[in-house]
Amino acid sequence: MNMTHYMSLLMNNQPWNLIIFMAVPVICAEALTITEFFIIYNRIERGAIRTLNKIVGIFDGFYFTGIFIYLFVNVVIPLTSGGGWHTWVDVVAVGFYLSGVVFLLPIALMELGIIFRNKSNEEKLKVHFILVGGFLIVAHVAMIFGMVNPQIISNMPGMHKM
């Protein structure tokens, strides 16, 4: 079966790659989204839900940054230098997946008070919500393009193991 490197990564080493590269970051982002709605709707500034949101935000931001570094060094650079991409669909799937770091790392840094220190709680809440939403968008674009058979775009040489 012909597939993108994104899908190949998730299918190899079952169930570990699926858990490490998909389940953990996406479940954390969904937990962030759910707690975010409670925080916004009820104007929660402290308490268990806010604490959970903060811990998950810090964890997911740094966890996904580790994934980004690992995959960039071990997948993106070798595929790019070796011409191993399976059409533009493959590049879009992997690129959108890895772009999640642009949204998750700032959440962790904001929760630690490293960035956006001078913003009001209302402004931080807005930025946090936009970042969570941005991650969910790029993650879903990656999933959609990751499931496309690259062979329908153009003829694809034999698959190479990642």
Task: Note the pLDDT tens digit of each residue in 7-51.
Answer: 888 889 889 999 999 999 999 999 999 999 999 999 898 999 999
Residue 160 lies in a domain: no
CA 58 to CA 43: how far, in whole Å? Answer: 21
C-alpha radius of gyration, the chain, whole number:
18
pLDDT of residue 86: 87
Does the pTM surpass 0.75? The reply is yes
The answer for residues whose C-beta is within 8 angstroms of residue 156's C-beta and 6 or more apart is: 2, 86, 87, 150
Query: Which of 34-48, 50-64, 142-156 is least confident?
Result: 142-156
Residue 161 lies in a domain: no
Short-list 137, 146, 55, 32, CA closest to 94: 146
Task: List alpha helices for 19-147, DSSP H.
Answer: 24-42, 48-71, 77-82, 87-98, 101-111, 121-146
Domain count, the chain: 1
Residue 157 lies in a domain: no
Residue 45 lies in a domain: yes
pLDDT > 60? residue 160:
no
CA 141 and chain centroid, separation = 10
Residue 59 lies in a domain: yes
Residue 112 lies in a domain: yes
Range of the domain at 79: 5-152
Q: What is the pLDDT of residues 106-145, one digit of tens each?
A: 999 999 999 999 999 999 999 999 999 999 999 999 999 9
